[in-house]
Structure 1
């Protein structure tokens, strides 16, 4: 979904919603959060029969279709409720938001097959999904910069927008290609020896840990029990700490994903198209740096 925010400086100029478009898209993305709740409900209902693998395929394929749809229909408008609206764009963004909202939940569930240390690689790889669109956007150029030019016919000043190196459609077709590569990577992870090696290594690691632990029990049983109790107490989290962390997470998410995107055009666009362009680029970079 970061690719949509990066392209906003170019999309806003053609969309009938203009500066209100980020607010509408933020609302649509918020509605897409219902899909993770559906996945949680399905997992609770199916129990051990639940498998996240089919949902991963569905999520990735929907993401490819959504990006292609944005590339084809981002500037199409439909007459609804007495005015023109970017219905195609909003619908495709909703589908793409479903991918973003649900992927983190489902992919984390899939990571149970690996050691815990691989979870850090997952989060770092997830942050790169914001970096790759940035490189494409930098190659695309700013564009959309308004220049006031006198019309020789009407003798009125009218804005002329500069063109980027390639169009918004090309940008989203490239993004859909990146998502298609992720589908190929997931299939390679499932059907090649990579997964088997990871499982074998994990089993060997578990067996080694069990043997070492049994030897430790034989030699220092009393000491081991006391250490286990100390570690368990140190690693446990109280209900108060859990509540504080979750509350902080909700507040941060409300500002980062709710308030800031809706205000970006009103707070930054008056300073110029380039300012909005670079702010939209720096936001995904900050997430990647935090993941490091």
Structure 2
């Protein structure tokens, strides 16, 4: 195994979702400078789902023109688009244009859509490209994908995004950006004021553009560096893949020559009736359905459902609890990938166990968000510890499940990873569509105030 190839695979994976993850962590600094205000997160949710036209096009191409689409030109196009869009965002994110009789952040919304197309399409192009490398590099790619959320979060912490200090409302500086003021029943109300950032949003978006440049450089080297070419064994891969794609009558998960021994025991005689309709000879049809249902479920929870209520679940315990939960959850993702790299347990029973455990932590987080702004143990240090630990274990367990499913499907061939990316996006879309009306339309969740956490009975 080449250390260089591992580093490049990691840097390549970091470019997969770094742009949109960066947009989310920068929201506290962006929101005060645009007409949409805190409606922007709900707009972003819709925009990201609209951007699934990219994965849909790629999936349809594999379905109706198998073997006709090479991921590499598509990857070059979307990464370059990401570089340009993030760079333009640095200069036009706060530009307002009159549209439909009101001021709108048209450049911000359009560029956010383009970045969403880049990141969503990466799910169905980056993963299949990793088939060109050895199976050991796929887990490294997932580590990089996890870092695509952690690195922007750490930079935002250095920037000071979202740092709040509390002042008496009667003496608060009018220059500060304030949140809603909530009465505490005392002699004076407190209001939360965002502290000035250490550097501007423009610098942050230029940093995101530089991250995309790094991703492009890593991708170029993965294609052309001699040491990586030796790892790829590219000619053997292309020959087998071309022949297989010509035989496929649609988007099957068939693999003529899996690159690793399947997890099922070789002593068990292969039975033709065990083959699923997807062509995965290692698993029965029921097992294939189970794998994809778990994949859709964990991505719905981790990419849409729980992130949409993170502030509701954490802010009642204070601003420090919110930032600690967000940062440590981002750390948990690459940690899970490292664990999977050294202990890849492929048992479907263990996968189900981890999914149930992770879902249990997610259910607790959702319950806390539903009780916001007065969740259990709101004024207790144990409440802070429990919600932070719940977020860490929720992300840790389900991230491990996602990586293991990726490793399993990688062994089944190129088309299996196309399906993997498509199901990831499908699960995320279902989760976002489910949560949008609950959060943004019906307002079932109420925000906590980082300065006024006491609840009246």
Q: Distance in 2 between the 1:28 and 1:245 partners?
A: 28
- Say if 2:55 and 2:123, in contact at 8 Å, map to a contact too: no
- Say if 2:160 and 2:195, in contact at 8 Å, map to a contact too: no
1:2 alignment partner in structure 2 = 21
Q: Distance in 1 between the 2:173 and 2:30 partners?
A: 24
Matched, 1:127 2:146: yes
Once the two structures are TM-superposed, the CA of residue 42 in structure 1 deviates from its matched residue by: 2.2
Once the two structures are TM-superposed, the CA of residue 236 in structure 1 deviates from its matched residue by: 2.6
Q: Distance in 2 between the 1:133 and 1:102 partners?
A: 20
Q: Distance in 1 between the 2:151 and 2:285 partners?
A: 39
2:256 alignment partner in structure 1 = none
- Say if 2:154 and 2:327, in contact at 8 Å, map to a contact too: no
Q: Distance in 2 between the 1:112 and 1:144 partners?
A: 42
Change in CA separation of 1:17 and 1:230 when aligned onto 2, cut-off 3 Å: same
Give the match's secondary structure for 2:98: strand
Q: Distance in 2 between the 1:171 and 1:195 partners?
A: 32
Q: Distance in 1 between the 2:97 and 2:312 partners?
A: 25
Per chain length, whose mean CA-contact separation is higher, i.e. which structure has more relative contact order (CA < 8 Å, sep 6+)? 1
1:251 alignment partner in structure 2 = 297
Once the two structures are TM-superposed, the CA of residue 177 in structure 1 deviates from its matched residue by: 0.4
1:171 alignment partner in structure 2 = 204
Change in CA separation of 1:176 and 1:263 when aligned onto 2, cut-off 3 Å: same
Change in CA separation of 1:150 and 1:186 when aligned onto 2, cut-off 3 Å: closer
Matched, 1:69 2:88: yes
1:184 alignment partner in structure 2 = 217
Q: Distance in 2 between the 1:258 and 1:113 partners?
A: 30
Q: Counterparts of 1:1-292 in structure 2 under 5 Å?
A: 1-143=20-162, 145=164, 147=167, 148=169, 149=171, 161-200=194-233, 228=266, 230=268, 232=270, 236-265=282-311, 268=314, 275-292=321-338
Change in CA separation of 1:123 and 1:158 when aligned onto 2, cut-off 3 Å: closer
- Whichever structure has more helix as a proportion of its residues is 1
Once the two structures are TM-superposed, the CA of residue 251 in structure 1 deviates from its matched residue by: 3.0
Which ranges in structure 1 are unaligned for 5 or more consecutive residues? 204-226
Once the two structures are TM-superposed, the CA of residue 247 in structure 1 deviates from its matched residue by: 2.5
Change in CA separation of 1:229 and 1:159 when aligned onto 2, cut-off 3 Å: closer
Q: Distance in 1 between the 2:62 and 2:234 partners?
A: 28
Which ranges in structure 2 are unaligned for 5 or more consecutive residues? 1-19, 175-189, 237-264, 275-280, 339-457
Once the two structures are TM-superposed, the CA of residue 76 in structure 1 deviates from its matched residue by: 1.9
Give the match's secondary structure for 2:148: helix
Give the match's secondary structure for 1:252: helix
Change in CA separation of 1:43 and 1:272 when aligned onto 2, cut-off 3 Å: same
Offset from partner CA, 1:165-186 (integer Å, 9 cap, x none)? 1011101101110110111121
2:251 alignment partner in structure 1 = none
Instruction: Indicate the structure (1 or 2) with the bigger Cα radius of gyration.
Output: 1
Once the two structures are TM-superposed, the CA of residue 75 in structure 1 deviates from its matched residue by: 1.7
Single out whichever of 136-145 and 29-38 deviates more from structure 2. 136-145
- Say if 2:61 and 2:69, in contact at 8 Å, map to a contact too: yes
What RMSD, in angstroms, separates the aligned Cα atoms of the two structures? 3.0
Q: Distance in 2 between the 1:120 and 1:151 partners?
A: 50
Change in CA separation of 1:193 and 1:11 when aligned onto 2, cut-off 3 Å: same
What TM-score do the two structures reach when normalised by structure 1? 0.78
